[in-house]
Amino acid sequence: MATKTPNKNQRQRQALIRIVIMAAILLCVNVLAAYFHAGIDLTREKRFTLSAPTKKLLANMQEVAVIDIYLKGKFPAELQRLQEAVRERLSSFKDIAGNKVIYRFINPLEGKNESEQKQIAQELSQKGIWLRQLPSKEDDEDGYSMNVFFPYALVHYNGKEMSINLLENHRGTFAQNISYAEASLEYKFANTINQLGRRDRVKIAYLVGNNEQLGIKTVDMLRTIAMNYDLDTIDLNQVHRPISLAYDAIIINEPTIPFNGYNKLKIDQYIMKGGHALWIVNNLNASLDSLALHPPQIMAMEYGLNLDDILFKYGVRVNNDLVEDRQNIPIARMMEGSAPELKEWVYFPRLNPTSDHPIVKNMDFIMSGFTNSIDTIKSDGIKKTILLHSSKYSLTARSPVRVSLSMMNFPLKNEMFPKSYVPVAVLLEGRFHSVYEHLLAPEYLRSLDSLKEPFKGVSDTTTSMIVTSAGDIFNNDYTTKDGLLPIGYYRYTGDFFANKDFLLNCLEYLTDNSGILEARSKDVKLRLLDAGRAKDEKVTWQFVNVVIPIAIVLVFASCYFFFRKRRYEVKEKTA
């Protein structure tokens, strides 16, 4: 008995039902996708996978974080890529934190006239959000236009707010800067939420009393620290007991007067109680100001800081020498009757961080002044990590060193610099032993006893410190015309260096136990298109990406209808 073949109306009704069912399924999938996200990170460096500390932070959020991203508008492809990367990263935050993370993209200048735009730009600058301009080619590729944008986000959390610079200046092309920016998004957003979420601000003590740097050259340093931490200034000569553990870290910034034994004891016992320290120690008296006053040369002599024994005990030695580097910061030589000329200056190393440690990983060049070399010393139980070093072509000159402006007249050759990768910044971690462990003077012991401060020969817990000899590394420049300049800005070339990032990363690593800094340790693999080849093969790849997929769909549809027609023809013949 032949099977009954559905008539034309039945087939149409069945097809319509299938279309309705498929549409309903697609609608449900899209609705579910809006609330539930899943993905597979196929990158080797796992750059799209959140680190464990970030996940823990997001899962434990107590309040709602509202994030305003000012990166909205019609942008070139690179900025659209960054815009989408921000959206994806915050979406992954929302997957874990749920409704505790709310983000929105805003164009603050949209619909405003010129005067209103200037007012808005000024108000945003007071929050650390600065206007940027980017030239881009017009569609006809014959002219250029300027894209005005704010590559910043503003995070509101725990009753406070903090801005984030999403696109910092790095060496390399603009496309490379975008790639660096993408890789650092997790760290920047997670670190900001972490800082705003702290109930008690971290306390930092800036030590003075031995003619440490303090004045117009440290304005930006102290202002930067105060924006992120509670900052106090402590005069060691005015306090009569070891530094209080109420301070999470202390900073000793380029002292020039020798330390007496009791002041060293105050620092030492703070370390022994588990405190953290950032040492910026430069042993030789050399400066461009001295050269300007006593041209054409000076003798760089030792300060005699009396810190060798305490640093040696902790695991490092800052040498009485100057590092000369083929990779350096040029200085302006004033030529009579002509404009200043930039000349290579071997005494200002241009430091290129290459360590995998999260403090400096993926960091740009760092500018330094007159710098000493550092040796690491065997110290049981102390882990040493070199954070900064000179280039492959370096030299060290022992004190007293003759520093002469005439050196700028001679061409530099690689063979003149026989040393390589001389350390100038070291991280020390572990349980430190006191320099006074077996040498405590009776009067110091009596003083501690009277203060009810028991002497500690070994640190109570594992702690850490950073020692750098890079001169003026955290100092800002200033001019009568432009006033104060930010840390890391070199006025003669207009370049920005990563000195401020290094300062903040050092303090964060020393004082924060959350591990958020781990997010900076991800590798950045730049997979950029060959711009020349992309332009030459533009039509080919447009054909591959547009025409071929459509052709494949048409071929598939033709085959489907052909075989479907043949099937029904066979059924009708057998009916």
**Ramachandran region, residue 537 (left: φ > 0; alpha: ψ -120 to 50; beta: rest):** alpha
Taking the model in full, what pTM does it have? Answer: 0.76
Fold classified for 53-195: Glutaredoxin (3.40.30)
Domain ranges (residues) in the chain: 53-195, 203-511, 534-575
Q: Show the tokens assigned to 144.
A: 């250029």
Sign of CA dihedral 337, 339, 345, 347: positive
Total residue length of the chain: 575
* C-beta of residue 500 within 8 angstroms of C-beta of residue 488: yes
Helix H or strand E segment including 382: strand 382-389
* C-beta of residue 323 within 8 angstroms of C-beta of residue 368: no
* C-beta of residue 71 within 8 angstroms of C-beta of residue 34: no
* Of 183, 196, 51, nearest in space to 523 by CA: 183
Mean pLDDT by 10 residues, the chain (575 residues): 59 76 80 63 65 89 93 82 90 91 91 86 86 63 63 92 83 72 87 86 94 92 91 92 93 96 94 96 87 76 94 96 93 65 89 91 90 94 95 93 83 90 97 91 86 90 96 91 88 87 94 80 55 68 78 75 68 61
3 state SS of 12: helix
Query: What's the CATH number for 203-511?
Result: 3.40.50.880
203-511 matches 53-195 in CATH topology: no
DSSP string spanning 478-523? EETTTEE--TTEETTTTEE-THHHHHHHHHHHHH--S-GGGGGGS-
* Of 27, 104, 22, 33, nearest in space to 65 by CA: 104
The Cα angle at residue 385 between residues 213 and 314, in degrees rounded to 5: 65
d(CA 386, CA 254): 20
3 state SS of 376: strand
Give the pLDDT of residue 140: 47
